[in-house]
Amino acid sequence: MTALLRDPLDAAALLRAGALVAFPTETVYGLGADACNGRAVAEIFAAKGRPHFNPLICHFADADAAFAQVRADARARALAARFWPGPLTLVLPRLADCRVELLAGAGLDTLAVRVPAHDLALAMLRAFGGPVAAPSANRSGRVSPTSPAHVMEELGGRIAAILDGGECAVGVESTVLDLAAGGAALLRPGGVPVEEIEAVIGPVGRPLPPEAAPAPTLRSPGLLLSHYAPALPLRLEAREVAADEALLAFGPPLPGAAITEQLSLSRDDREAARNLFGALRRLDAEGQRLGLRGIAAMPVPGGGLAPAIRDRLARAAAPRA
Ligand code: AMP
Ligand code: MG
């Protein structure tokens, strides 16, 4: 049985007992465990079916707590001051006395850290008082959850509890920035637009688009091509749609689809990000029920959160491994 919790103190108590607790953040729901408890961390990988080479992000109540575990240079401190709490994850070198289990970082000498901008998450983290490892609270490779109902669908019965914070405000995962290798490299576009990061620290290396990128390397082991995948095939950059397809619309919808979900009629990137995973889930469930051939996604051009949306859609459309 997976309990639905309202009180962040109850969530913290479960974490202390070594249990898995899904909790809301501004991006998506995370699947949390005590990052210093090897058994609890191992349970995250087991519950998600996540490969052990894919490291987890550690969540903290504030920047001081995060920077007690990793080496933060001036750029990391400037970014933390500007964007934390918020949807930016920094990959930094582990300190020699870092308390986080090596397994949480997949054995790497770096650790991904962030402070989420969500009152319930912060209250839980403060009450718990230590690092909380938390990937997205979905089965590995599937669509990320942006509501307690999504988490229940994905992990109900496999985890102790879900802290109920309603719908997530941002809707796509955090931007992951690697500062450990000397330069600054974007590992995953996300909730903080890269332009805003560059305004603070200067030029950031951009990844190749997912379909053009080489196989994941040790530096960014989580950048698997196929991810966020619905069961129905997804077709990108649709300019027309067939009667036996579901449509993921961005702006005035193409005519003729069997069913349609709208990301943002006014083509607002933030509204579209917030709607993305829920819309994909609904089209996938309803499309399968109706026996449709697949989902056609209209183009989502532009900057801001649009690159993160295009990244998720490209991975959702990629051939399964
Ligand atoms: P998730 O928490 O499931 O949304 O995924 C976390 C993302 O951060 C994955 O793409 C990971 O590969 C990436 N990540 C976490 N830790 C590190 C690290 N130490 N170095 C590089 N990438 C990381
Ligand atoms: Mg994930």
Are 10 and 129 found together in one domain?
yes
Q: 139: pLDDT confidence band, cut at 50, 70 and 90? A: very high
Of 181, 201, 221, which residue sits at a domain end? 201
Rounded to whole angstroms, the Cα distance separating 137 from 146 reads 9
Q: Which phi and psi angles does 152 have, rounded to 5°?
A: -60, -45
User: Residue with the nearest Cα to atom 2 of ligand 1?
Assistant: 135
Calculate the alpha carbon distances from 157 to 134, 151, 164 in Å: 18, 10, 16
Of 153, 184, 201, which residue sits at a domain end? 201
Cβ–ligand 1 contact at 40 (below 6 Å): no
Are 127 and 31 found together in one domain?
yes
**Looking at residue 8, which CATH number applies to its domain?**
3.90.870.10
Q: How many CB atoms lie within 10 A of CB 271?
A: 17
Give domain status of residue 208, yes or no.
no
Are 80 and 172 found together in one domain?
yes
Give domain status of residue 94, yes or no.
yes
Question: Which amino acid, 241?
Answer: V
Cβ–ligand 1 contact at 275 (below 6 Å): no
70, 144, 175, 188, best to mutate for ligand 1 pocket (most atoms within 8 Å of CB): 188
Of 180, 201, 222, which residue sits at a domain end? 201
Q: pLDDT tens across 229-272, in order? A: 889 999 999 999 999 999 999 999 999 999 999 999 999 999 99
Cβ–ligand 1 contact at 110 (below 6 Å): yes
For residue 206, report the distance from its CA to the centre of ligand 1, in Å.
16
pLDDT number for residue 214: 56
Question: How big is the chain, counted in residues?
Answer: 321
The range of the structural domain enclosing residue 181 comes to 3-201
Atom of ligand 1 nearest to the CA of 221: 12
**Looking at residue 283, which CATH number applies to its domain?**
3.40.50.11030
For residue 16, pLDDT beyond 50 = yes
pLDDT number for residue 218: 46
For residue 188, report the distance from its CA to the centre of ligand 1, in Å.
9
pTM for the structure as a whole: 0.93
Q: pLDDT tens across 163-212, in order? A: 999 999 999 999 999 999 889 999 999 999 999 999 999 999 987 766 66
Residue with tokens 């992990």: 155
Using alpha carbons, select from 156, 233, 107, 134 the residue that is nearest to residue 1.
Answer: 156
- Ion ligand 2 neighbours (CB, 5 A) are 136
Residue of higher predicted confidence among 228 and 150: 150
SS (H, E, C) 137-152: CCCCCCCCCCCHHHHH
Atom of ligand 1 nearest to the CA of 28: 4
Give domain status of residue 221, yes or no.
no
